[in-house]
């Protein structure tokens, strides 16, 4: 196991609602990256947090936002949920200043109805 945890495991929300997903990084890791993975596709980079600041962002609208806390854990917030937001949301932890290797949590499966 990687030591990266995510909560909740599954979530069902209605279009227009807001959701918060949580991630605890592996011990010793200072960076958290968030990905969205739709069925049959590779993970799509949402954003990365390092030292509690956003350190790069993929092609996702501003209604996707995040936080990183002093203990390196992180949250992903999605406002105004759309049906297309239904996906597996993956959190990966890594060490900025080290290798590029990322280690994933089990993911949160979000269904928007």
- d(C-alpha 17, C-alpha 25), whole Å: 26
Per-position x/- string for 55-74, each x denoting binding to another protein as judged by CB under 8 A, each - no binding:
xx-x----------------
In the block, tokens 């209605």 appear at 14
Q: Which two tokens stand for residue 28?
A: 């010793």
If one asks whether residue 42 binds another protein (CB under 8 A), the answer comes out as: yes
Stretch that binds another protein, among 20-28, 31-39, 64-72, 74-82 (CB under 8 A): 31-39
90 touches another protein (CB under 8 A)? yes
Q: Find the part of the chain contacting another protein (CB under 8 A) among 11-19, 45-53, 65-73, 74-82.
A: 45-53
Minimum distance from residue 105 beta carbon to another protein (Å): 6
Q: 3-state SS string over 7-67? A: ECCEEEECCCCCEEEEEECCCCCCEEEEEEECCCCCCEEEEEEECCEEEEECCCCCCEEEE
Residues 68, 74 contacting (CB under 8 angstroms): yes
| Contact positions vs another protein (CB under 8 A) | 2, 31, 33, 35, 40-45, 48, 50, 55-56, 58, 88, 90, 94, 96, 99-107, 109
């Amino acid at each position: 196991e990687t030591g990266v945890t995510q909560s909740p495991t599954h979530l069902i929300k209605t279009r227009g609602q807001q959701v918060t997903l949580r991630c605890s990084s592996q011990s010793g890791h200072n960076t958290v990256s968030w990905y969205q993975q739709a069925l049959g596709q590779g993970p799509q980079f949402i954003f990365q947090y390092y030292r509690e600041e956003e350190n790069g962002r993929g092609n996702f609208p501003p209604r996707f936002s995040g936080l990183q806390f002093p203990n390196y854990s992180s949250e992903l917030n999605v406002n105004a949920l759309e049906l297309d937001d239904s996906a597996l949301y993956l959190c990966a932890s890594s060490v900025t200043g080290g290798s590029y290797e990322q280690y994933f949590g089990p993911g949160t499966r979000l269904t928007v109805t």
